Copies of this chain bind each other. A is one copy, B any other.
Amino acid sequence: MAGGQYNPLSETAVNRIHQAALAALSEIGLANAPASGIAAMTAVGAIMGTDGRIRFPAALIEDTIARANRSVTLCGRDPRHDLELSGSRVHYGTAGAAVHMVDVHTREYRESTVQDLHDAARIADQLDNIHFVQRPMVCRDIPDNREMDLNTVYACCAGTTKHVGTSFTEAAFARDAIEMLHVMAGGEDAWRARPFVSNSNCFVVPPMKFATESCEVMETCIRGGMPILLLSAGQAGATAPASIAGAIVQAVAECLAGLVYVNAIAPGHPAIFGTWPFVSDLRTGAMSGGSGEQALLTAGCAQMHRFYALPGGAAAGIADSKLPDMQAGWEQMCSNVMAGLSGLNMVYEAAGMHASLLGFCHESLILGDDLIGQALRCLKGIEVSEDSVSLDVIRATCLDGPGHYLGSDQTLALMQTDYVYPTLGDRTSPKEWIERDRPDLLTRATEMKERILSSRSAARFDALTDAEIRKRFAIHLPQ
């Protein structure tokens, strides 16, 4: 589905942001690149300063943009879930690093576990409008980071055959995981042919500093054939300028530096331009992912991606609300529909996220599928053709026909193609609703969750593969 009907920025504004990003890269540059990155980037024309900052001449940036991958295919383990990131094609999915699970009935926030993560992947696997499963929460029951990183990949992949995204704490853990992915894929060649996991990589610590360890993870993943999400997650008013435009400038500059880095190491390696600026509530300094400012930041970034014609991603769909209530609904829709209409290729954190990313909720993920289905209908837009303007239908109905369009051929045909129906969203009349004993949205979402989780995940690996994985790696999830 393609967006792009919404342009939060004028052409002049886009160019101004681009010029400011170029200036930031050539004048300010980035600190803290690892030695390997400095070597790679200076080899292609970046300039290491005596102040420890690496700077990027405008020509290097322009060249890099011109030569970078114009499209990225993110593979699913099942090819029917492949995502083609190009133009204004829009995909929605999960992401994040929530530390809590939200129980909608007891209103509890408790620590999230590897089972919760696996269940989230299983649920997402069954939802048509959730196109990928980037790890939305942290396995708090696995204290060892190495085991946590491995089990994160396992729990996600064992729950879905959609594309999976994840992070790694250290380069060595990424190496382990890639070994495990070889087993899952049936060999290194099969993995490299269709890498079904990407690395969500926070390669910068905004403002304008490389994250040394994450850069080492990134280099490892690039060598291992894993697509990279170049993730710059500044927070406007804290680690990025408080002005929306300034936060976009900084995120764009940082991701352009990341793009130089990736292409210096492996020209044309699949990379997603991950400008993910967040927003502070300036009264408290706390993050506010559900705000209008967040929706604008994300939409503005999407327009910059389109300007560069680079596959891009950003965050939307975050609720500040602690529960899937009315506030969560308006917060999630606001940024999700604006992200889609602005043509964002990858809409991360699009479902299930509460408390400004601190909590993840299975019921909310399920309801998010309806919400995103509606957003997708909006970005599909209005078809205007000889047929759809309906002059003949209007004429036939008014002059010779029944005076209404119920049951007309056009109506019956469009019912299947042009109309989207929610799964849990309730459209009954008050009378019918009362007769059905006032069904509660969250209760129905819980019922659907239990139905999905009552059967074993179809994405589980075959017995031999699973045994091989469990022999070589400490898998926490029960068989």
Contact = CB atoms under 8 A, between A and B. Distances in A.
B394 A238 contact: no
Nearest to A396: B28
Interface residues of A, number: 125
A70 B296 CA distance: 30
Contact of A17 (B100, B243, B370, B384): B384
Contacts of A418: 242-244, 293
B13 A384 contact: yes
Contacts of A7: 5-7
A149 interface: no
Interface in A88-107: 100, 107
A355 B388 CA distance: 29
User: Number of copies of this chain in the oligomer?
Assistant: 2
Interface stretch (A114-122, A334-342, A470-478): A334-342
Given A382-B244, A427-B288, A398 B28 contact: yes
A396 to B, nearest CB: 10
A463 interface: no
A215 interface: no
A394 B240 CA distance: 8
A86 interface: no
A354 to B, nearest CB: 9
A330 B327 contact: no
Contacts of A300: 382
A192 interface: no
Contacts of A359: 430
A468 interface: no
A358 interface: yes
A404 interface: yes
Nearest to A24: B394
3 residue pairs, one from A and one from B, having the closest CB atoms: A329-B329, A246-B390, A292-B377
Given A207-B398, A324-B326, A326-B329, 9 more contacts: A207-B403, A236-B405, A246-B393, A282-B415, A321-B426, A327-B426, A329-B333, A330-B371, A356-B427
Interface of A: 5-10, 12-13, 16-17, 20, 23-24, 27-28, 31, 51, 100, 107, 109, 207-209, 236-246, 248-250, 281-286, 288, 290-293, 295-296, 300, 320-322, 324-334, 337-338, 341, 355-356, 358-359, 364, 367, 370-371, 373-378, 381-385, 387-391, 393-395, 397-399, 403-406, 408, 410-412, 414-415, 418-422, 424-430, 433-434, 438, 441-442
12 contacts: A28-B394, A31-B398, A51-B399, A107-B438, A236-B405, A241-B411, A281-B421, A286-B427, A292-B373, A325-B326, A327-B426, A338-B341
